[in-house]
Amino acid sequence: MSLAMPSAPNGGLFKAGYNSYDAEDGAVLRNIDACRTIATTVQTSLGPYGRNKIVINHLQKMILTNDAATILRELDVVHPAAKLIVMASQQQEAEMGDATNLIIVLAGELLKKAEELLRMGLKTSEIVAGYERAQKIALEALEELEVDSIGDIRSQSELAKALRTVIAAKQNGSEQLLADMVAEAVLAVLPKNPYNFNVDNIRVVKIMGGSLEQSKVVRGMVFGREPDGTVKKAVKAKVGVFNCPIDISQTETKGTVLLKSSKELFDFTKGEEHQMENTIKELHDSGMRVVVAGATVGELALHYLNRAGILVIKIMSRFELRRLCRVVGATPLARLGAPMPDEMGNVDIVETLEIGGDRVTVFRQENEQTRTATLVLRGATQNHLDDVERAVDDGVNVVKAITRDSRLVPGAGASEMELIERVSRVADKTAGLAQYAIRKYAEAFEVIPRTLAESAGLDATEVLAKLYTAHQAQPPTASSSAAGAAGKAATNGSSTNGTSKAQTNGGAEADDDDEDEDDDDEEEEEIDCTGVDMENSDGTGTLDASEEGILDLMLTKQWAIRLATEAARTVLSVDQIIVARQAGGPKPLGPNPNWDQD
């Protein structure tokens, strides 16, 4: 008597239509492969020389960008493991607004290194534990890489210093112009307590035509339409905002009217006209000179508004209406009539300007502090303007992060090279199988400088060799004096590969304090800021990131490392995927291969 064997894995356990992939089928390796495919897709878009992608979404809209968050949002990723990486990127976008590509690329590289460890014979649990330890080491090492910070957040030059690198990743060549504009707009709306800064207070209006150099910052709001009436300008005016239609109220019932003479026809609408005239007169007598309508404006009401010399503009977006209320300090009214004095707002100037053939209305506050600032961007194509808007959005989000932590670390791949060196050093001292995972974790950071060098057209192998040489750890001993450390830095600065070492601000003094407090044999390590020179200005392919002003925000890097590691560990922890049958009726019939045969 033979045993009845199930025809499929989990046969008879689930309903028909279920798919199950487990470790024996290589589920972990297949998951890693899917995640690496996603990482490869966006990897070439990393950095200032990153390539753009053209994505045609499901609505047939064309998006041209090198922003990883936008690319992944428009791609409909269905693989469950790859979705985990995309979700980590979306969380970084929500939390920091920047470095979304860094998460995808780093997580993909961590999984690639994990695959090598799996083929060596390590278990996923050992790799996950090793990655967790390595993450703590990397975050502690990153804390020590501070080379600068934003001393005065209300200084435009200080703020632009932190924004320049972020904006250069999206708009290389225009970073100085855009960084200054974003800094100017932010300082116009920055509250007394910078921690309360709201990114929604920086608006962007895109007007095609002209060049990016013709862009400007407006202290207030800009609407892409002109006023409806004949009045086009108001100065030091009171503003009323109405959510309701500015028109004669319609009756709920229908009736028939019999008119017997031409006089009755002439007098038929007199009552409505008198009522509308009185209503507009009430608005004028209250001191209101600007009316903002969130719904329709009737022709009769427009006639009397023009006669009263009141500027009227329609704003159909509820969100824009709320923002305007915040700018002018008005309360939106649900009824037509004279408002209370505290329900009206105030605006210094409302005027109509012509920008590149488009007529726009500007609500501007002349005083130093305003509630909203608008960047009017100019450009040749809509796709270019959309990409500039993303760069501005990244810059504004970085300012929000600066209010929480203003420390800066060297960019251009220098921080990643230092992390490789410091995490690898810990791996050498670690016993057991965990050392393999920690070392591979450190090696994964190499993907950032390598990608930067490749996208700039440099020989990545040669550049990486020079970076490894420059970052080779040589910790100073207690016997070495501050002068000796300075001499060593000067010697490195004149070495053949053109690299130089920059000490942390006040590093020598900090070392002296350490000697006084405790008798440790080691001093604080020098921070090497050698990174990838993407322009290859001196022919070596390397530069001093700190001296060149290429600085990244430490908080952004911390979040990126944390989220990328968590995403990689989550993917490695999965050993089985069970896919339920889709809800709904039978699947539609596929193409018939034998359609031409009778």
Assess contact for 102 and 564: CB atoms under 8 A.
yes
Tell whether the model's pLDDT for residue 297 goes beyond 70: yes
Look up residue 237 and give its two tokens. Answer: 């005016």
For the stretch 201-243, pLDDT in tens is 888 888 888 788 888 888 888 887 777 878 788 888 788 888 8
Q: What is the pLDDT of residues 427-444, one digit of tens each?
A: 888 777 888 888 888 888
Q: Choose between 97 and 523: higher pLDDT.
A: 97
220-247+261-365 and 20-145+421-477+524-573 share a CATH fold: no
* CATH architecture, range 220-247+261-365: 3-Layer(bba) Sandwich (3.50)
Token digits of residue 429: 């001292």
Give the chain's end-to-end CA distance (angstroms, integer). 47
Mean pLDDT across 152-156: 78
pLDDT beyond 70 at 47: yes
Distances (CA, A) of 38 to 124, 498, 546: 21, 36, 32
Decide if pLDDT at 12 tops 60. Answer: no
Read off the DSSP letter of residue 534: T
Q: How confident is the model at residue 17 (pLDDT cuts 50, 70, 90)?
A: low
Q: Which two tokens stand for residue 253?
A: 């019932």
pLDDT of residue 294: 78
Among 10-19, 53-62, 439-448, 453-462, name the one with the lowest average pLDDT.
10-19
Q: Which sequence spans correspond to the domains of the chain?
A: 20-145+421-477+524-573, 220-247+261-365
- Ranking 192-206, 281-295, 570-584 by mean pLDDT, the lowest is 570-584
- Give the pLDDT of residue 112: 86
Whether residue 412 contacts residue 534, with contact meaning beta carbons closer than 8 Å, is answered with yes
CA–CA–CA angle 445, 449, 451 (5° rounding): 100
Which letter does DSSP use for residue 504 in this model? Answer: P
Q: Contact, 402 vs 229, CB < 8 A?
A: no
Report whether 110 contacts 131 (CB < 8 A): yes
Query: Looking at the predicted structure, is the pLDDT value of residue 487 above 60?
Result: no
- Flag the least confident range among 25-39, 255-269, 373-387, 538-552: 255-269
The answer to whether residues 352 and 361 touch, using CB atoms and an 8 Å cutoff, is: yes
CATH superfamily of 20-145+421-477+524-573: GroEL-like equatorial domain (1.10.560.10)
Q: Quote the distance between the C-alpha of residue 149 and its chain's center.
A: 21
Mean pLDDT value across residues 172-185: 84
Residue 257 CB-density burial (10 A; 0-12 exposed, 13-18 middle, 19+ buried): exposed
